[in-house]
Structure 1
Amino acid sequence: MTPTIRVADEAGACYGVNRALDMARAATREAPAPIHTLGPLIHNPSVVAQLAAEGVGVVEDPSDQPGGTLLLRCHGVTPSQEREARATHELVLDATCPFVVRAHQAAERLTSEGYQVIVLGEKGHPEVEGTLAHAPDAVVLSGAAGLDGMSLGRKVGVVVQTTQARSCLRDLVAALVGRCVELRVIDTICEATSLRQEAAARLAGTSDVMVVIGGRNSANTTRLARICAERCPATHHIELPGELRASWFEGAARIGVTAGASTPQTQIDEVVHAIGALVGDGRGA
C-alpha cells in the first residue's frame, strides 16, 4: 500500500519572512548596487545562497561593504548597528519582522518603567541580542529552571523571543508568581509560530514518519523538530530534498511534513515531490 503524505495545516514561510524576501528581490531591481544584508536575511542557508546568486550578498558588519544598499535582517539588529548602517550606505532598508520590532519595543518600555526585565529566549540568537540592546540590564533565560538562585526585585517584566513555545512561557510565569510584588508579562510570541507548532504537533501525533524542513540554524525549525520528535520518534530535520533517505519510510503508512517559518513554499513542494518519488507518491490519499 502506498503511504499517504500530508503537509501540516500551518507550515512554511511566515509574513515576516515573505516580506523580507520581497524587499530583497525588489532591491535587486530598484536599489543602488551593491546590495547586501546585514547578517543572513533569514535562517535558511539554501535561500540565502539563492539570494547571493541573484545579487544579494551578506556582510557581518556595516563597514565591510560601505556604499550601495544594505538590508537589515529579518531578526533585527541593534540600534548601534542600524546607526552605523545608515552612516555607511546610500540606502538602508529595514526588513526586520514587525513582530520582532514589537519585542524590542516591549523590552525598552518595561525597562523605562522600572521593571527588572527577563527575556525568555536563546542566548546569542540575533533577535535576542537585538532585544538586549533595548534593555541592557535584562537577563536572558531559556526556561523556568534559570530562575534557580536568581535574585528578583519587586517589579519583574517578561518579554519573549518570538519563536519560543508558549508552554515555556507558561512555565516561566508560573515559577515567577509569588516571587515578586508586580509581574508584567508581554507575550511577544509570534502567532504564526504558535500555529505552526500546534499544527506540527497534531500531524506528528498521527504520523509514522515526520519530515521537518528548514535551516538547522533556525530556532523555530529546530523547535518544530523537537515538538514532532516528542510525538513521532521517526522525525527527520532536513534542509534540502537530497538529504532524504528511502529507508526512513520503509513500513510507514502515514508520512507527515512540516516546515519552519523561514522555509518558502517552493522548498516544501520540492521535498514533498522527492518523498513521493521515493515511496511511490501517496499525496492526496
Structure 2
Amino acid sequence: MEIIPVTPRGYCKGVVRAINLAKKTALEYPNEMIFMLGMIVHNKYVVEACELLGIQCVEEKGKTRLELLDKIHSGVVIFTAHGISDEVYQKAIEKGLIVVNASCDDVTKTQIIVKEYLEKDYEVLYIGKKFHPEAEAVIAISDHVHFIESKDDINQLPDYPQVMVTNQTTMSIKEIYSIIEACKAKYKHIVILDEICNATRIRQEAIEKLTDTDCLFVVGDPKSNNSNKLKEIALLNGIPHVYLIETSNDIQKNWLEGCDRIAITSGASTPTYLTNQVIEVLKHYSESNELLHLDIDMNHLLD
C-alpha cells in the first residue's frame, strides 16, 4: 500500500495570522474576558484549543455576526479570519469593546474591491455559500451587492447596465466557472474578478493532478468550505473513495480494503498536527494491517 501526502496541505497564511493574533490577545489581556465572534477558523479543534487559552467562542446556528455581538457586553472581541462587515465593526466600537481583527488579508482585499466598484456605480454579483460568514460580511456592504449561489439566482436579477462579478475566496474553481459563464451570457458590460485565494487554488489543483488514486482522505472540519470543496473536486476527478474526516480516529478499516494508493490532504484551517496523525495511522496500517488509536494533545493544535 502506497501512502501519498499531498502537497500543499495544512494552515494557510490567513489562518496562521488569526491563530497568532488569538494567542497574542490571550497574553496581552489576562484580566479581560475575551470572545471570538464565531469560530476563529472553521475547525472545532482549533476553537477548543483557543478556549483553553481563555477565549470564549460566541456562536449560534442561524445567527448573524451582528446578532451574535449582542451577546458580548464587555471585554475583548476577536473578529474571525472570515472577515467582518463595517456595521459589525462599528457596533463593537460603540459598545466599548476592545477589537482585535483577525480577518484574512485576502478576504479584506475582496471587500475593498467590492467597495471600489460600488463607487463606480456597478452592481456587484457575489458568488458564495449561503450563511457563510465571509459571504455575510460582503453582502452587508450594500443593497447593490447581490448574492449568487447558483445559475438560477442570476435569472432572477434585472438587466443591469454594468456588473462586476466576484466570489468567496474558498469556492471551487470549477463551481464558479459555470456561474461566471452564465453571468457573461446575460450581461454585456461585465467585469470578472476571480477572488479564489491562492491557498485554496493550489490545494484544489493538487487534487486534480492526482492519478491512479484509490482513496483520498481530506482532513478538515465539516463546516470548512474549502475542505468540502476538496472532497467535491476529488470525486469529480474520479477518485472512487473520498472521505472528509476530522481526526485519524474517524478512519474505518473497511474503507481501506482493496486500496493500493491512498492520498491525504487537508483544508487550510486544519492543524498540521491532526493531518500528521492521519499519515502516521495509515503508514502503520500499511505495515501491520491494524489501525492505531491516537490521543489528541491539545497543546499542539495551535502550532
User: TM (normalized to structure 1)?
Assistant: 0.91
Q: For the residues of structure 2 that align with 1:156 and 1:185, how far apart are their CA atoms?
A: 9
Count of aligned pairs: 279
- Counterpart of 1:221, as a letter, is S
- Larger mean Cα displacement after TM superposition, 30-39 or 258-267: 30-39
Q: Distance in 2 between matches of 1:148 and 1:91?
A: 43
Confirm whether residue 253 of structure 1 aligns to residue 253 of structure 2: no
Pair 1:141 & 2:140 matched: no
State the Cα deviation string for residues 113-150 of structure 1 (Å, max 9, x = none): 11121101112111001001113232211233432354
Contact 1:249 1:279 in 2 (8 A): no
Could you report, residue by residue, the CA deviation over 1:23-69 in whole angstroms, capped at 9, with x for unpaired residues? Answer: 11111112252211111101111211121122111124234233222
Moved over 6 A (4+): none
Identity %: 27
TM-score by length of 2: 0.86
The amino acid of 2:52's aligned partner reads A
Do structure 1's residue 52 and structure 2's residue 67 form an aligned pair? no
Structure 1: runs of 5+ lacking an equivalent: none
Q: 2:193 aligns with which of 180, 186, 200?
A: 186
Residue 227 of structure 1 is matched in structure 2 by 233
Give the AA of the match of 2:223. Answer: N
Counterparts of 2:169 and 2:281, CA distance in 1:
31
Distance (whole Å) between structure 2 residues aligned to residue 172 and residue 110 of structure 1: 20
- Of 176, 194, 209, which aligns to 2:183? 176
The farther-off stretch of 57-66 and 124-133 is 57-66
> Which whole-Å CA distance do the structure 2 matches of 1:81 and 1:148 have between them?
31
1:69 to 58, 62, 76: 76
Give SS of 2:206's match: helix
| Bigger mean CA deviation after superposition, 249-258 or 61-70 | 61-70
Instruction: Work out the CA distance in 1 between the residues paired with 2:174 and 2:20.
Output: 32
Letter in structure 2 aligned against 1:193 = T
Question: Which consecutive unaligned segments of at least 5 residues does structure 2 have?
Answer: 60-67, 290-303
Alignment of 1:123-142 (within 5 A): 123-142=130-149
SS of 1:177's equivalent? helix
Distance 1:90 1:140 in 2: 30
Give the letter aligned to residue 37 of structure 1.
M
The letter for the 2-side match of 1:5 is I
- Secondary structure, in 3 states, of the residue corresponding to 1:212? strand
